[in-house]
Amino acid sequence: MKKALAGIITTLFMVGGIGFSLSAAASPVPTAALAGVAGATLSPVGERAVEDIRRCLSSSDVLNVFYLIDNSGSLASTPDGGPGTDEDFRRVDIINQSLRSLAELTEGSSAKSINLSLGFFASSYSPGVGWTPLTKSTVADLESRITTEVTVNQRPNGLTNWEAGVTQAHRAIQEQQSASPGCQMMVWLTDGGINVDQTLPAAVQSGVNLCGSDFFGEGYTASAPNGTFHALRQSGVTVFAVLLNVGSGPKDWRQELLQPLAEGSGQIEGRSTTCGVNPIPEDFSAGAYIEADSVGSLSNEFLKLAARLSGGSDATMISKDKISVPKGVARLQVIGVDAGAILTSPSGRAIMPSAGSDGFIDAQVLNDAEYGTWSVTATGWSPPAIVWGALVLVPERDPKAAGGAEQSVGFTLDTAGSTSVAVTDYDFTLAVRLTYPDGTQETQSIPSTELVSGANTLVFEPNPAYSEVQIRYTTENLRTKQGQVPLAAIVAEQNVTITPPTQFPTVSNPTITQALIGSITPAQGTFSLTAPADGNPGEVCFPGLSSGELTPAPTIVGDSADRLTNWQWSIAAADQASVIDDCVQLAPGAQTTVAFSASHPSSADSAVQALTTITLGDGSGGVLPITKEIVFPSERIYFPVVGNIVRILLIALGIILPFVVLYLVALLTTKGFHGRELRRATFPVIYNKEKKTLAPADGKASSMADVGKDAFTFLTPIDDFKKFNDPELGTLSAVVSANPLRAPWFEITPRAGTTVFTDKTAPPIYKKRFEGGQKALFSGDMSKLWALSFSESELAKPESGSDDIRGKLVVFSRDSFGASVNMQDTMAGILNSLRSSNAIAEAQKVLHAKQQQKDDSKGNKPGTTGGKPVPTLPPLPGRSPGPFTNATPPAGGSPLPPLPPRPGSRP
């Protein structure tokens, strides 16, 4: 397995490495690098990813590589305690071996500067090794640091949070790209499916954030438009995603997601899924998905694949073990052979697998005698072999061309020093495509017969409206002239700086001094302006320079987050610059700078590409509008912890706020209605709890219907009230519950030592509040209020005593125009209410129970109060004293007045 993984990673680098020379003959792949690779065939998108890296390296000297390594707990052990996928830290050897192979690429005629960084991810991201130049002299130190990080400092633990790892890796690459621009590559090694917090919704949301599309169609929204991987592709990062699916059976969606993430499309649970913009735009970098599931079975397949991707192509087989090697083939390889296999050239040279190169034979074609038919002697070998050509195309580095006139740029075509093969041994057509920053393209097609070995020139007329054009060379239909053996296409790229005619000033490509960080820190950069080369004065006009705002705003032509509008651009010339209106004046030979900044309210991880039009003036009336490309990185700063805290606070506040408002509305609008012409009367009454009747207590009226209408007196008019004090009843108030879902109510709180009853019965939910007559409900309209008030001592008389309870009836009434109160109807209503209510009887029971409890706690017998006899009323006239009545008057008080004869009773 170790070898397999080493092979995968190493091969990736070697594939890139081939791009340096574009010729296997010139830069043969170290055999150790390809040893023991296990893997699967790359998809067309995966192949394009390799081509993207090769092409990029043909025009850049720098390669920034980031290793993102899975460090989840599954590497050490399974959840049920079983062995992990790499409990012996074999990945240390894998990584370190790939470093050694990578270091090879930093030497030689086409040496590259390689910057390497490494980070780990599990439940979260953890940096490992910062950006470090990789050379043969630093590789030992790097290996040591990585070993310490993996085996000591960062032991496997936690879940598999892809998003945390990939986001931070992207950020690290962006920062490095600002410091040292070049080709970008990320090797992402994971041993399991996405698992953020062991819940499905979190995993799907995280997957959607990475992918950019709601692949399950369940209403998830990505945190950034098109997703994280689209941003990686847009910013030119080639991602090689390697899934170590070792013996874990069929993949589920969590693992299947890896392919659409890396390549932009794939299958999840049998359904076609795309991530980001598809197909991947031409100016984006594609990614590749590689799955390793066993050491041996995929080894040969991956070796063939790696060989093909490194510039090889399928050989023309004469028979199962005979290979056609005509003039033009510089190298060949047979893969999947046993250790005793032999590859024999036409000249009789026999080649066997070298030590350490398990399963393949690699051979260079040394001289003319070796052209012809090669034979393979091996068991279990499956053709075809792989062959490489020797053709190399190297474009001129950093060429410049004046716009508006026919210009030429150079490129060399040779066979990398081969003495036996010449450029003329190949048939092909060189397709040349020129691409300007706005995407406009021009193409040329040059047959190989018009090309010579050595220096060649491409003639074209650069569009002066642009300051740069990218030229891509591709060999189409590349074959050996002899035998017509097809070979892999050669791709190379060069960026040509277009300079204006000499009478115009020049404007440099912008230098970015600050990346766009979130929405707070704007991207910043400068243009350097230089006076015309012909020694005359000139001017450079930026739209809106005088106002400090770049208007019209530059056109956004590339942003993975699709932030096409709402950009704020500012621009300012250097202090010493001479500015007239929107134009910077340049004296002969002068140089100055113009600074600009850009910000956007939405933050995203992206590389923003914008085009702005600048007008050059030659000082004598001639103008030349040019388009300048501004490219700057954009970073999204987001801490998930902060997000969670904000989310919880917002939801809590958001839900509480409407309830607070409801409460306030109820508090402000709930008032008892008093109004004008309100009259009030108080009547001493006797309530018979047995018959539930009322009788006048003053003896002036024979029945309640006859009580005095004249007893009503007008109250001082007020409109409404929150609280109202009644001398007999106590406090009448409007009450708003702290629970705004409950309707407000109106209640009477009796004075101390008294109880109160109305016609309203409290709902069960408020039973405790209103029990025992300690409070009474009313409708809020005082004109409809009547209430009975009893003293607590009167109500708490022993049950064995009299049925009559003395109290007061308070009645409110409003009869318009001074009409007298209709006492008959009023009293009929009161009596009816009393008859249908058990409130007074229940209140009495509550008081008795309380009394009992009180007595029990003091150790007294029932029926006594504090050791003293319970005061009882004298018997009503016409009644004999009850068996338990006591004639003694209540302690501390005068005897109650005798009750008047009850209506209809005999004296």
Shortest distance, position 668 Cβ to other proteins, whole Å: 8
Shortest distance, position 370 Cβ to other proteins, whole Å: 57
How far, in Å, CA of 192 to CA of 242, rounded?
A: 10
What length is written for the chain? 907
Cβ-based nearer residue to other proteins, 68 or 584: 68
The contacts of residue 836 (CB under 8 Å, 6+ apart) are none
How many residues of this chain bind other proteins (CB under 8 A)? 49
Cβ-based nearer residue to other proteins, 321 or 781: 781
Backbone angles phi, psi at 316, to 5 degrees: -85, 115
Q: Is 714 in the site for other proteins (CB under 8 A)?
A: no
Cβ-based nearer residue to other proteins, 224 or 361: 224
Structure tokens given for 22: 């574009």
- HSE-CB at 395 with a 13 A cutoff on CA atoms is 29
> Which of 350, 366, 637, 828 lies at the binding interface for other proteins (CB under 8 A)?
637
Shortest distance, position 657 Cβ to other proteins, whole Å: 7
Structure tokens given for 802: 């009299």
Alpha carbon of residue 815 to chain centroid: 69
Q: In what order do the strands lie in the sheet with 400-402?
A: 400-402, 491-499, 468-480, 426-435, 441-447
Cβ-based nearer residue to other proteins, 351 or 667: 667
Q: Are 899 and 686 in contact (CB under 8 A)?
A: yes
Parallel, antiparallel, or unpaired: how do β-strands 62-70 and 113-121 relate? parallel
Shortest distance, position 727 Cβ to other proteins, whole Å: 24
The contacts of residue 110 (CB under 8 Å, 6+ apart) are 20, 21, 27
- Name residue 777's amino acid: L
Q: Is 606 in the site for other proteins (CB under 8 A)?
A: no
Binding part of the chain for other proteins, among 285-293, 321-329, 661-669, 709-717 by CB under 8 A, reads 661-669
How far, in Å, CA of 744 to CA of 725, rounded?
A: 19
Structure tokens given for 784: 């409809």
Shortest distance, position 600 Cβ to other proteins, whole Å: 7
Query: In 3-state terms, what secondary structure has residue 849?
Result: helix
> Which of 436, 673, 712, 786 lies at the binding interface for other proteins (CB under 8 A)?
673
Residues between 207 and 236 with contacts to other proteins, criterion CB under 8 A = 221, 223, 225
Cβ-based nearer residue to other proteins, 125 or 284: 125
Cβ-based nearer residue to other proteins, 405 or 668: 668
Q: Are 748 and 718 in contact (CB under 8 A)?
A: no
> Which of 152, 459, 655, 765 lies at the binding interface for other proteins (CB under 8 A)?
655
Cβ-based nearer residue to other proteins, 52 or 163: 163
Shortest distance, position 787 Cβ to other proteins, whole Å: 19
> Which of 743, 752, 765, 887 lies at the binding interface for other proteins (CB under 8 A)?
743
Residue found by looking up tokens 């633990």 in the block: 157
How far, in Å, CA of 56 to CA of 51, rounded?
A: 8
Cβ-based nearer residue to other proteins, 597 or 603: 603
CA dihedral 532, 536, 540, 545 (to 10 degrees): 140
Structure tokens given for 881: 């004293």
Cβ-based nearer residue to other proteins, 355 or 655: 655
The contacts of residue 317 (CB under 8 Å, 6+ apart) are 323, 324, 383, 384, 385
Q: Is 797 in the site for other proteins (CB under 8 A)?
A: no
How far, in Å, CA of 813 to CA of 823, rounded?
A: 10
How far, in Å, CA of 379 to CA of 385, rounded?
A: 15
- Name residue 832's amino acid: N
Q: In what order do the strands lie in the sheet with 392-395?
A: 392-395, 407-414, 454-460
Q: Which of 188, 126, 196 is nearest to 159 (CA)?
A: 196
Shortest distance, position 130 Cβ to other proteins, whole Å: 13
Residue found by looking up tokens 């309210």 in the block: 601
> Which of 657, 841, 849, 891 lies at the binding interface for other proteins (CB under 8 A)?
657
> Which of 181, 404, 684, 744 lies at the binding interface for other proteins (CB under 8 A)?
744
> Which of 669, 800, 822, 864 lies at the binding interface for other proteins (CB under 8 A)?
669
What is the three-state SS of 292-355? ECCCCCCHHHHHHHHHHHCCCEECEEEECCEEEECCCEEEEEEECCCCCCEEECCCCCEECCCC
Q: Is 202 in the site for other proteins (CB under 8 A)?
A: no
Binding mask 490-519 for other proteins (x = CB under 8 A): ---------------------------xxx
The contacts of residue 209 (CB under 8 Å, 6+ apart) are 163, 222, 223, 224, 227, 228
Binding part of the chain for other proteins, among 7-15, 307-315, 560-568, 678-686 by CB under 8 A, reads 560-568
Shortest distance, position 656 Cβ to other proteins, whole Å: 10
Q: Is 676 in the site for other proteins (CB under 8 A)?
A: no
Q: Is 442 in the site for other proteins (CB under 8 A)?
A: no
Burial of 203 (0-12, 13-18, 19+ CB in 10 A): buried
Cβ-based nearer residue to other proteins, 647 or 850: 647
Q: In what order do the strands lie in the sheet with 386-389?
A: 313-314, 386-389, 329-335, 360-364
Cβ-based nearer residue to other proteins, 600 or 806: 600
How far, in Å, CA of 59 to CA of 535, rounded?
A: 33
Distance from the first to the final alpha carbon of the chain: 116
Q: Is 342 in the site for other proteins (CB under 8 A)?
A: no
Cβ-based nearer residue to other proteins, 497 or 568: 568
Binding mask 514-553 for other proteins (x = CB under 8 A): ---xxxxx--------------------------------
Shortest distance, position 578 Cβ to other proteins, whole Å: 35
Q: Are 69 and 120 in contact (CB under 8 A)?
A: yes
Q: Are 717 and 676 in contact (CB under 8 A)?
A: yes
Shortest distance, position 834 Cβ to other proteins, whole Å: 23
> Which of 136, 400, 647, 850 lies at the binding interface for other proteins (CB under 8 A)?
647
Binding part of the chain for other proteins, among 353-361, 366-374, 383-391, 774-782 by CB under 8 A, reads 774-782
Cβ-based nearer residue to other proteins, 202 or 666: 666
Residues between 130 and 169 with contacts to other proteins, criterion CB under 8 A = 168
Q: Is 700 in the site for other proteins (CB under 8 A)?
A: no
Burial of 101 (0-12, 13-18, 19+ CB in 10 A): buried
Structure tokens given for 736: 């708003």
Shortest distance, position 466 Cβ to other proteins, whole Å: 30
> Which of 278, 364, 377, 602 lies at the binding interface for other proteins (CB under 8 A)?
602
Shortest distance, position 720 Cβ to other proteins, whole Å: 9
Cβ-based nearer residue to other proteins, 221 or 857: 221
Q: Are 282 and 40 in contact (CB under 8 A)?
A: no
Shortest distance, position 559 Cβ to other proteins, whole Å: 12
Shortest distance, position 548 Cβ to other proteins, whole Å: 22
Cβ-based nearer residue to other proteins, 350 or 657: 657
Binding part of the chain for other proteins, among 483-491, 606-614, 660-668, 758-766 by CB under 8 A, reads 660-668
Cβ-based nearer residue to other proteins, 750 or 780: 780
Query: In 3-state terms, what secondary structure has residue 674?
Result: strand
List interacting residues with other proteins (CB under 8 A). 168, 171, 221, 223, 225, 517-521, 563, 565-566, 600-603, 636-639, 642-643, 645-647, 650-651, 654-655, 657-659, 661-662, 665-666, 668-670, 673, 675, 740-741, 743-744, 779-781
